[in-house]
């Protein structure tokens, strides 16, 4: 390959000439430090290269070597539990050779070349295989069975296949097609291209997250897309962490994109200690981390999102339900903006490049519930949840708008709720989920036939509360009728005893759907029973003074193994109301 020559350096952007043999999106090595870069624009023989490492000390005249390959990730056993940087360099391994901070020009393969994995074949010699067929399995962690698939483009008859301990680059299987393909456990895939699948399905199953406000009111579907916009301090990161911890996906890819390093540290410290409620194993055993914290090179931030989603797609292709959390896509958009500015492109709104919306759409469209390639018609789902950090919390800015146009679930975080210590600070009045209808069907079938009815009832109460609040602000609470005052109290109960959830409390941090259903019934029972009492002449104060209300408030701390206690609370409430009616109720006239 011809060697290019640098003619201009502008931060992470390097322009080199003599690059006429290279193609756009090829990976190049810049200068003799071998900094990794990617060509993002070609004009004649001049290539604009975004360099994924610090470019200090690089000057014109230095060489640029083309690799002729697009930016790719290595996919194979060894991904899970590892923490990578934005271009899939394992940070642990880098630390071992370079110390605590990234140094330049460290070359490190994404997957450990030394480690041996036990490969168990699932096909026999002579079997016909197609792209996507599973040829063998590797028990990667205690909970993840890594399926080794035939890479796209390879089809034919299995000529030989072996069981045993192999590294990811050893040949485990030879497929005889139009030529002999030596299959390894590892395959490579360019990050900017979505991995192929047979066909897309409509997402209809909820992604159960254990977060009451999300599961009950604004559910995300498996294979869906969701966005969490919110001003700083409103708990975006905590929401993302909670989802990464408790979502019932089999694989979690967490992309820390341009946020604080401490937040990744939190993940690293907490996840190994938390037990997955479904498998009883450490959460780390199903998690892959991609870290490009705010002090890491900007250009790699742009790539980190693609690296993450390509890895996620790979696990989806195995037929797993995968969820990827990107925190935060605003930093990614800012990285795009920085590069766009240096490329001297015509800026769009707020300086973001004109292609911001199409790039964001490209990313989110890689989500989906799909029938994977391969003969067993397995179904995988890839759920994408992106945090957006609009400056000042104003979602009319371009990144939020571009995101909202594509995603189907919007969890709007509200700084005033956060200020009132209402967490998760998801605003129930402006958030929405477009999967609601599908998920309602699922809930009614699998959890409780009344689930969606109850949800609508609770939401109606919350909406009525907000209009009543306006009256209260004008003329004061006492001027409301007792029925309306009860409504306010019931809405308060829904807010405080159902929506609020403490991420740091052992029991409260995760709520099963069954418990959510009972809790929802309980808070609604308070309204229904209260209304019945009022109709029968009981005074509002007497209802509000019932000691059982404290039990309602504490129901969220009831352990998952004792959820039937909530039914007892409902019964107790009914009995108490009956007593009140028999004592103070009006006579049958």
Residue with token string 């001027």? 479
The rounded distance, in Å, linking the Cα atoms of 357 and 399 is 8
Count Cβ atoms below 10 Å from residue 56 Cβ, excluding itself: 8
**SS (HEC) of 320-352:** CEEEEEEECHHHHHHHHHHHHHHCCCCECHHHC
509 or 536: CB nearest other proteins: 536
| 178 vs 588 by CB, closer to other proteins | 588
Instruction: Give the residue with the Cβ less far from other proteins, 474 or 589.
Output: 589
Q: What are phi and psi of 211, to 5 degrees?
A: -100, 120
> Closer CB to other proteins, residue 429 or residue 586?
586
Say whether 442 sits in a helix, a strand or coil: helix
**What would the two tokens of residue 293 be?**
């914290």
Q: Which is nearer to other proteins, 201 or 488 (CB)?
A: 488
Residues 162 and 140: their CA atoms lie apart, in Å, by 18
CB of 555 to other proteins, least distance (A): 30
* Nearer residue to other proteins within complex by CB, 372 or 534: 534
Span interacting with other proteins, options 66-74, 206-214, 396-404, 579-587, rule CB under 8 A:
579-587
The DSSP bridge pattern shows strands 287-292 and 83-84 to be parallel
Nearer to other proteins, 111 or 538 (CB): 538
Query: Site for other proteins (CB under 8 A): which residue of 60, 164, 537, 559?
Result: 537
- The DSSP line for 235-249 is SHHHHHHHHHHH---
Pick between residue 43 and residue 477 the one whose CB is nearest to other proteins.
477
Q: Residue 586, interface with other proteins (CB under 8 A)?
A: yes
Total binding residues for other proteins by CB under 8 A? Answer: 10
Q: Give dist(CA 64, CA 34) in Å, integer.
A: 8
Tell me which stretch binds other proteins (CB under 8 A): 83-91, 141-149, 221-229, 533-541: 533-541
Please select the residue that binds other proteins; options are 539, 544, 545, 568, rule is CB under 8 A.
Answer: 539
- Taking the least distance from each CB to other proteins, the nearer of 311 and 538 is 538
> Which one of the spans 16-24, 97-105, 187-195, 535-543 is the region binding other proteins (CB under 8 A)?
535-543
Tokens representing residue 47 in the block? 């290539």
Q: Which residues pair with 3 in a beta bridge?
A: 65
- Rounded to the nearest 5 degrees, what angle is found at the Cα of 244, between the Cα atoms of 433 and 237? 80
Note whether 162 and 121 are within 8 A (CB): yes
Return the number of the residue (539 or 557) whose C-beta is nearest other proteins.
539
Helix-strand-coil percent breakdown of the chain, rounded to 5?
40, 25, 40
Residue 166 tokens, joined: 């192999």
Residues 6 or more apart in contact with residue 282 via CB below 8 angstroms: 271, 272, 273, 274, 275, 276
For the bound state, the minimum distance from the C-beta of residue 545 to other proteins, rounded and expressed in Å, comes to 12
Asked if 584 touches other proteins (CB under 8 A), the answer is: yes
Residue 293: count other Cβ atoms within 10 Å of its Cβ.
19
Least distance CB 537 / other proteins (angstroms): 4
Eight-class DSSP state of 221: B
Q: What residues numbered 463-502 form the site for other proteins, per CB under 8 A?
A: 478
Sheet holding 117-121, edge to edge: 145-149, 134-139, 117-121, 164-166
Under rule CB under 8 A, which residues in 196-235 are in contact with other proteins?
Answer: none
Contact 36, 24 (CB under 8 A): no
- Min dist CB 577 to other proteins, Å, is 16
Identified binder of other proteins from the candidate list 124, 199, 473, 583, rule CB under 8 A: 583
* Contact mark string toward other proteins, 281..310, x via CB under 8 A: ------------------------------
Q: How far is the CB of 492 from other proteins (least distance, A)?
A: 22
Give the interface segment with other proteins, choosing from 38-46, 88-96, 325-333, 578-586 (CB under 8 A): 578-586
The dihedral over CA atoms of 35, 41, 47, 51, expressed in degrees to the nearest 10, equals: -10
CB of 503 to other proteins, least distance (A): 42
Any contact of residue 347 with other proteins (CB under 8 A)?
A: no
Minimum distance, C-beta of residue 476 to other proteins, in the bound complex (Å): 12
Q: Are 227 and 410 in contact (CB under 8 A)?
A: yes
Segment near other proteins (CB under 8 A), from 86-94, 98-106, 512-520, 580-588? Answer: 580-588
Residue among 11, 109, 190, 585 that touches other proteins (CB under 8 A): 585
Question: CB-wise, 384 or 580, nearer to other proteins?
Answer: 580
Assign residue 402 a region (left: φ > 0; alpha: ψ between -120 and 50; beta: otherwise): alpha
User: Is the CB of 346 or the CB of 475 nearer to other proteins?
Assistant: 475
Q: Which residues bind other proteins (CB under 8 A)?
A: 478, 537, 539, 541, 583-587, 589
């Amino acid at each position: 390959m011809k060697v290019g020559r640098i003619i201009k350096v502008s931060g992470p952007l390097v322009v080199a000439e003599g690059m006429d043999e290279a193609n756009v999106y090829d990976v190049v090595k810049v200068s003799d430090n071998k900094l990794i870069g990617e060509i993002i624009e070609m004009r004649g023989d001049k290539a604009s290269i975004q360099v994924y490492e610090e470019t200090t000390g690089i000057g014109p005249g230095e060489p640029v070597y083309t690799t002729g390959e697009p930016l790719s990730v290595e996919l194979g056993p060894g991904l899970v539990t590892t923490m990578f940087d934005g271009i899939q360099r394992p940070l642990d391994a880098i630390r071992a050779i370079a110390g605590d901070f990234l140094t330049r020009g460290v070359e490190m393969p994404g997957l450990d070349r030394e480690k041996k994995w036990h490969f168990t074949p699932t096909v026999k010699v002579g079997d016909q295989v197609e792209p996507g067929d599973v040829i063998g399995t590797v028990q990667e962690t205690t909970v993840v069975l890594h399926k080794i698939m035939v890479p796209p483009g390879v089809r034919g008859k299995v000529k030989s296949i072996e069981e045993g301990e192999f590294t990811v680059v050893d040949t485990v299987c030879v497929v005889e097609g139009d030529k002999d393909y030596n299959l390894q456990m590892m395959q490579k895939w360019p990050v900017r291209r979505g991995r192929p699948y047979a066909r897309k399905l409509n997402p209809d199953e909820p992604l159960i997250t254990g977060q009451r406000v999300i599961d009950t009111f604004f559910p995300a579907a498996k294979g869906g897309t969701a966005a969490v916009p919110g001003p700083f301090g409103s708990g975006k990161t905590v929401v993302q962490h909670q989802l990464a911890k408790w979502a019932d996906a089999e694989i979690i890819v967490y992309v820390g994109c341009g946020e604080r390093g401490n937040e990744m540290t939190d993940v690293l410290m907490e996840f190994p200690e938390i037990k997955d409620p479904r498998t009883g194993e450490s959460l780390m055993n199903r998690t892959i981390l991609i870290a490009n914290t705010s002090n890491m090179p900007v250009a790699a931030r742009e790539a980190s999102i693609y690296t993450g989603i390509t890895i996620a797609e790979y696990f989806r292709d195995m037929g797993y339900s995968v969820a990827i959390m990107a925190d935060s896509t605003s930093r990614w958009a800012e990285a795009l903006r920085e590069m766009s500015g240096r490329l001297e492109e015509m800026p769009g709104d707020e300086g973001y490049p004109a292609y911001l919306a199409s790039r964001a759409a490209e990313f989110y469209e890689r989500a989906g519930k799909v029938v994977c390639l391969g003969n067993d018609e397995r179904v995988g789902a890839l759920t994408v949840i992106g945090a957006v950090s609009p400056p000042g919390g104003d979602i009319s800015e371009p990144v939020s708008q571009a995101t909202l146009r594509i995603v189907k679930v919007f969890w709007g975080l509200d700084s005033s709720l956060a200020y009132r210590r209402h967490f998760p600070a998801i605003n129930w009045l402006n958030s929405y989920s477009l999967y609601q209808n599908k998920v309602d069907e699922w809930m009614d079938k699998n959890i409780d036939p009344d689930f969606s009815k109850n949800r609508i009832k609770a939401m109606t109460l919350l909406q009525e509360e907000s209009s009543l609040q306006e009256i209260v602000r004008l003329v004061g609470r006492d001027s409301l009728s007792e029925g309306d005052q009860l409504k306010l109290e019931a809405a308060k109960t829904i807010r405080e005893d159902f929506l609020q959830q403490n991420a740091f409390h052992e029991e409260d941090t995760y709520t099963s759907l069954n418990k959510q259903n009972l809790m929802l019934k309980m808070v609604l029972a308070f309204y229904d029973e209260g209304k019945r009492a009022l109709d029968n002449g009981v005074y509002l104060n007497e209802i509000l003074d019932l000691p059982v209300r404290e039990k309602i408030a504490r129901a969220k701390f009831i352990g998952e193994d004792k959820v039937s206690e909530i039914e007892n609370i409902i019964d107790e409430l009914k009995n108490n109301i009956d007593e009140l009616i028999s004592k103070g109720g009006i006579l049958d006239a």
